[in-house]
């Protein structure tokens, strides 16, 4: 579960991390009131679960409450990477002397938390050279000991005898406490800024492990899924909306990703990711098709490699939907595996010839989507 920036900063503050003065608002009048309360100049930030807000025009500055109101009016209703802006964070504008990067996440290969730090933070952190990024795996039994934090600060080129160095050690220690105590997958500050003698978290990105939410009852809940994605989740299907025009259904996360890659390779654009999973029966397959059709695709590809999933079940579900409601777009089906001959016979009755290979099916789906 991703948290909005303002939620992350509220969490940071509870653990003693310094953050700018600010408040969440939902309308222009509130933005003006907060600007008057904390004192201009202020920065008005769109609250969306996406990065690159600054480059997308989702962050504005104001020198007066009136300017803050006008900026809020402009930002509310925007979309950033397809996400509507419905919430804003109005906070004091900082004097920024230096930007740094700091995060803790999971190193899946090592099965340990990893601290990532750089003395070169900000919007273009992805472009920072690898040798300027410090990575330190943390032993969960040992935890974030002081000598580990001090070693990272030294490697960032910051003296431990300075106010900045001493504060950085505290920030790293607090960030690890948040990561462990709140069951986080990621806690990130980018940028972490030097403002005078102070070290302040100018941004906050926090992601909580969904499987641990049951024991994090004090944290706010954020629904990231669209209405269609939520409906799919309630049906036990893995569905993600994308921005293309070819509907996709497959039986397994790996084969679904492979289908997306094949479509992209041949010049197509997937409209969704839909993993119907192993063992999905006729009813589940029919509901999956309904979800895809609701996206109004130009073509649909169904890629089934039947093991637990029976090809005849998939074929029967497809034939049932086609006969009852009709499918107004061309459909390409690759059907291989358990009961494939029976499944192919069913498809043939409704005018579909199944493919043997995913590449051939993907190429045809792209061709049909462009016809």
CA-based nearest residue to 17, from 265, 230, 200: 200
Of 50-64, 98-112, 194-208, 276-290, the range with the lowest mean pLDDT is 276-290
Question: pLDDT value at position 104?
Answer: 97
Predicted TM-score (pTM) of this structure: 0.70
Sign of CA dihedral 215, 216, 217, 222: negative
| CA distances in angstroms from 341 to 284, 360, 362, listed in the order given | 21, 19, 21
Tell me the C-alpha distance between 161 and 128, whole Å: 27
227-370 matches 98-215 in CATH topology: no
H-type alpha helices, 137-240: 146-155, 163-181, 227-234
- List Cβ<8 Å contacts ≥24 apart for 158-161: 158/119
Tell me the C-alpha distance between 257 and 264, whole Å: 11
Residue 340 CA from chain centroid, whole number: 37
Peptide linkage before 41 cis (omega within 30 of 0) = yes
Q: Is the pLDDT of residue 280 over 60?
A: no
Q: Which CATH code, of 3.40.50.300, 3.30.950.10, 3.30.1490.20, 3.40.50.720, is assigned to 21-92?
A: 3.30.1490.20
Structure tokens at 131: 């040798």
Which residues lie closer than 8 Å to 202 by C-beta, 6 or more apart?
20, 94, 96, 99, 189, 191, 192, 193
Tell me the C-alpha distance between 345 and 52, whole Å: 50
Residues labelled catalytic: 101, 188
Q: Is the pLDDT of residue 225 over 70?
A: no
Residue pLDDT, tens place only, 80-136: 877 889 999 999 999 999 999 999 999 988 999 999 999 998 877 777 888 889 999
Tell me the C-alpha distance between 218 and 131, whole Å: 39
Q: Is the pLDDT of residue 336 over 60?
A: yes
Question: pLDDT value at position 118?
Answer: 94
Is 271 in contact with 294 (CB distance < 8 Å)?
Answer: no
Q: Which residue has the higher pLDDT, 237 or 31?
A: 31
pLDDT band at 360 (very low <50, low <70, confident <90, very high): very high
Q: Is the pLDDT of residue 233 over 80?
A: no
Q: Is the pLDDT of residue 268 over 90?
A: yes
Beta strand 205-208 pairing with 83-84: unpaired
Q: Is the pLDDT of residue 270 over 80?
A: yes
**Mean pLDDT computed over every residue of the chain:** 90
Say which CATH topology domain 98-215 has: D-amino Acid Aminotransferase; Chain A, domain 1 (3.30.470)
Structure tokens at 165: 């160095």
Q: Is the pLDDT of residue 224 over 70?
A: no
Tell me the C-alpha distance between 307 and 143, whole Å: 44
Residue pLDDT, tens place only, 31-84: 999 999 999 899 999 998 877 788 888 999 999 999 999 999 999 988 887 788
Q: Domain boundaries in the chain? A: 21-92, 98-215, 227-370
Q: Is the pLDDT of residue 16 over 60?
A: yes
Q: Is the pLDDT of residue 279 over 60?
A: no
Q: Which CATH code, of 3.40.50.261, 3.40.50.970, 3.20.20.70, 3.10.310.30, is assigned to 227-370?
A: 3.40.50.261
Mean pLDDT of 8-20: 95
> No. of H helices and E strands in the chain?
11, 18
Tell me the C-alpha distance between 260 and 241, whole Å: 12
């Amino acid at each position: 579960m991703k948290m909005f920036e303002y939620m992350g900063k509220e969490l940071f503050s509870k653990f003693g991390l310094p953050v700018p003065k600010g408040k969440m608002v939902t309308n222009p009048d509130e933005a003006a009131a907060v600007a008057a309360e904390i004192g201009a100049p202020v920065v008005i930030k769109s609250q969306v679960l996406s990065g690159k807000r600054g480059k997308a025009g989702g962050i504005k500055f104001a020198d007066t409450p009136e300017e803050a109101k006008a900026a809020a009016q402009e930002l509310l209703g925007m979309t950033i990477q397809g996400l509507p802006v419905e919430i804003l964070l109005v906070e004091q504008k900082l004097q920024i002397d230096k930007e740094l990067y700091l995060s803790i996440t999971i190193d899946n290969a090592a099965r340990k938390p990893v601290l990532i730090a750089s003395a070169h933070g900000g919007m273009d952190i992805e472009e920072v050279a690898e040798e300027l990024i410090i990575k330190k795996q943390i032993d969960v039994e040992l935890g974030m000991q002081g000598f580990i934090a001090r070693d990272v600060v030294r490697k960032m080129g910051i003296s431990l005898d300075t106010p900045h160095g001493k504060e950085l050690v505290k920030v790293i220690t607090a960030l690890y406490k948040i990561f462990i105590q709140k069951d986080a997958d990621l806690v990130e500050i980018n940028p972490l800024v030097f403002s005078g003698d102070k070290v302040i978290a100018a941004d906050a990105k926090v992601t909580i492990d969904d499987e641990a939410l049951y024991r994090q009852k004090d944290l706010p809940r954020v629904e990231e899924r669209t209405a269609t994605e939520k409906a799919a989740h309630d049906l036990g299907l893995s569905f993600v909306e994308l921005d293309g025009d070819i509907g996709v259904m497959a039986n397994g996360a790996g084969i679904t990703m492979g289908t997306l890659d094949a479509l992209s390779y041949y010049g197509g654009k997937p409209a969704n990711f839909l993993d119907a999973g192993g063992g999905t029966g006729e009813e589940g397959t029919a509901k999956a098709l309904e979800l895809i059709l609701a996206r109004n695709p130009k073509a649909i590809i169904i890629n089934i490699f039947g093991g637990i999933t029976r090809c005849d079940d998939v074929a029967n579900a497809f034939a049932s939907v086609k006969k009852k409601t009709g499918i107004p777009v061309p459909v390409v089906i690759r059907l291989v595996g358990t009961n494939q001959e029976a499944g192919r016979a069913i498809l043939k009755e409704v005018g579909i010839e199944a493919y043997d290979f995913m590449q051939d099916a993907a190429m045809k789906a792209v061709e049909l989507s462009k016809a």
